[in-house]
Structure 1
Amino acid sequence: MNKAIDISVLDGVIKRTIETVETSKSQIFDIAESARQQGNSMKLELHELRQEITKVIQKVDALELAYRKSRNRLVLVSRNFHMYTEEDIRVAYEDASRIQVDLSIFRERENNLKRRRDDLERQLRTLEETIVRAEKLVSQMGVVLGYLTGDLSKIGEALESAKQHQLMGLKVIQAQEEERKRVAREIHDGPAQSMANVVLRSEIVEKMLKNERVLEAQMELHELKEMVRMSLADVRRIIFDLRPMALDDLGLVPTLQKYIRTCEERMETSIDLVVFGVEPTLRSSVKAAIFRLVQECLNNVEKHAKAKSVQVKLEFVQDSLSLVVKDDGIGFDLDERMGTGGSFGLLGMKERTQLLEGQIEVQSAPGDGTKVLFQIPLKI
């Protein structure tokens, strides 16, 4: 009875902790978004300020040239005053004086604009640092939330096997959070930045049209169209990485062929896909899991192997699938790697294979490449 009470109290503490962490995470995210919006406004102001500085500098250069000419005219008149009327001398002095005053005004304006530009650039750098720190905090809180809502939300069951599964659970949660962070970073650095730039450039186009600068506006619109097209390609690539729609439409093998062609272009590595047998009708979850196994293997090759060629072999035999991914890269010491707990990639593949009730074997040695073998039953 006392044990049940203790667990109930602990569950209550955990729930309150989760609520606090979620609220803090939301607040930090709002701070980051507010900083990002402020940064976009500052970027627009900085863009306009730089254009204004360019115009002022051109004006200063023109006034300096005019001032030198007026000084030369004044010297000429002064030296040969007997050849010029008093009106000529007066006009020469007034012109030189007026241009000198204008030059002083525009030089001061140039200095003020440059100080404002430097101040804006410093503020923008500070905002960007704030955004990076906020995103890091949100990511760390995501790990904490995953841990609290995962292992500890069922504290009664977790107490029996916590020592055995704590390390694995934490690593899996961290791997999931890293994947979310990767996707978030891709969206932030790709489509999100492009969309922010589209908003910025569209405001510039509006101002051009108001000032009847039609040709410049048309050029900006053309660039905007190309930017949107590139953003759309980025979004489609991210969607494909998250869940290839072709798996359900075309099947496992055609999807792998398409993915491998993309990997070859990105990695600049020769990847050969060999298929034996005929692909049977597979459940959607099984196709997705097998695709992820190949994807994880190729990701590991890209990050660590430094391979020149890779072979992916699929063999459908009755009610099972044999999958082999082999590269000619630098390899690694398998005993040493597993002795340190293994990498997230190997742990993820091992857990995914276990969910499929299959088996995984990794063969590797320094300088001798790596070979990963999977044996997966297709009727689970």
Structure 2
Amino acid sequence: MDQLRSKHQQISSYIIHTQEEEIKRIALELHEGVGQNLYSILTGLQFIESGANEPFMKNYVREMSQLIEKTIQEIRLLSVELHPPTLTTLGLLSAMKSYIKLYTSTFGILVDLESTGEEKEIPEKTSITVFRVCQEALANIAKYADTCHVKMNFIWFEDILKITINDYGKGFRPEEHDENNPSSGLAAMKERMLLTGGQCNISSKIGEGTCIELSLPLLNRE
């Protein structure tokens, strides 16, 4: 049974890693490929606008330029959401702070993030996994919690990182959600944390909100 569980975890880990590599590639292509091409088109339109004589033509080109500018911004935001550059360069905590700014501007939900203790270095693969779990938790809050305030804590111990996310929203009855169903978002969060050697615990009460607690071992990590 243990061998079967270990094999399942290896397969899940491989699938998730492969998915993340593809997401990273798409994010890079959006930012450096599509985004740069649109920027070149924008520059061309601005040049045409400066040489246009007819007022209606100037207005038309300006409107097209504004539309492309908006599209460029949306692509940049999508690229960051898919794979924040800071996740690789600055680590999990900085990536989370960067994502929260995007999250708040998109959904209008204020996320109060606090970090206590000395931040530890986490391997990129593990950081991505934990980031995805936090991202899924925040996405669920935006969809279901009916709240405007979230409290997130990073607590760094010598051998473990604990993350808590409290939404103070309308809550739900955990017994009515099958967390063992593989298609469930809650099950996916728990599965991802198990692959890191960590845990994900979810508790909720109607009218009081939902609390998600993540724990990640930090010692002896390769």
Q: In which range does the TM-score fall when normalised by the shorter chain? A: 0.7 to 0.9
- Determine if contact 1:337/1:343 at 8 Å carries over to the other structure: no
CA distance in 1, matches of 2:126, 2:192: 10
Is this contact kept in 2: 1:361–1:374, CA < 8 A?
yes
Structure-1 separation of matches of 2:71 and 2:110: 28
- Compute the displacement of 1:343 (Å): 6.0
Residue 104 (structure 2) aligned to one of 248, 264, 269? 264
The superposition leaves residues 315-357 of structure 1 with CA deviations (integer Å, 9 ceiling, x where unpaired) of 1111211011111111111112127837632122111101101
- Judging changes above 3 Å, is the alpha-carbon distance between structure 1 residues 340 and 361 closer, same or farther for their aligned structure 2 residues? closer
The reply to whether residue 328 of structure 1 matches residue 168 of structure 2 is: yes
- 1:224 aligned partner: 64
Identity percentage of aligned residues: 26
How many angstroms apart in 2 are the aligned matches of 1:325 and 1:340?
21
Distance change in 2, residues 1:340/1:246 (3 Å): closer
SS in 2 for 1:338: coil
For 1:349, the equivalent position in structure 2 comes to 189
Does the CA-based 8 Å contact 2:147-2:168 persist in structure 1? Answer: yes
Code of the aligned partner of 1:311: K
Gaps of 5+ in 2: none
2:190–2:201: 8 Å Cα contact kept in structure 1?
A: no
Whether 2:206 is the aligned partner of 1:366: answer yes
Corresponding residue of 1:309: 149
Partners in 2 of 1:264 and 1:291 — Cα distance? 16
SS at match of 2:178: helix
Q: CA deviation at 1:292?
A: 1.3
1:304 and 1:267 map into 2 onto residues whose CA distance is 12
Matched, 1:278 2:145: no
Structure 2 partner of 1:292: 132
Q: Which amino acid aligns with 2:68?
A: V
Residue 7 of structure 1 is matched in structure 2 by none
Regions of 4+ moved over 6 Å: none
Preserved contact between residue 169 and residue 209 of structure 2 (Cα < 8 Å): yes
* Alpha-carbon shift at residue 216 of structure 1 (Å): 2.2
Between Structure 1 and Structure 2, the one with more helix by share is 1
Separation (CA, whole Å) in 1 of partners of 2:162 and 2:74: 33
Letter in structure 2 aligned against 1:358: G
The separation in 2 between residues aligned to 1:237 and 1:249, in whole angstroms, is 18
Structure 1 Cα separation of the partners of residues 149 and 53 of structure 2: 54
| Alpha-carbon separation, structure 1, partners of 2:148 and 2:86 | 28
What per-residue deviation string (whole Å, max 9, x for no partner) do you get for residues 131-162 of structure 1? Answer: xxxxxxxxxxxxxxxxxxxxxxxxxxxxxx7x
Contact preservation (8 Å) 2:104, 2:111: yes
**TM-score, structure 1 normalization:** 0.44
- Separation in 1, partners of 2:128, 2:208: 30
CA contact (8 A) 2:77 2:102 kept: no
Q: Larger Rg: 1 or 2?
A: 1
Structure 1 regions of 5+ residues with no counterpart? 1-160
Q: How far apart, CA to CA, are the structure 2 residues paired with 1:375 and 1:261?
A: 24
Residues 1:336 and 1:277: Cα distance change in structure 2 (over 3 Å): same
Instruction: Report how many residues are paired.
Output: 187
Contact 1:247 1:287 in 2 (8 A): yes
Whether 1:239 aligns to 2:92 is no
User: Higher relative contact order by CA 8 Å / sep ≥ 6: 1 or 2?
Assistant: 2
The Cα of 1:270 is off from its aligned counterpart by 2.4
**Which amino acid in the other structure matches residue 119 of structure 2?**
E
CA distance in 1, matches of 2:107, 2:58: 37
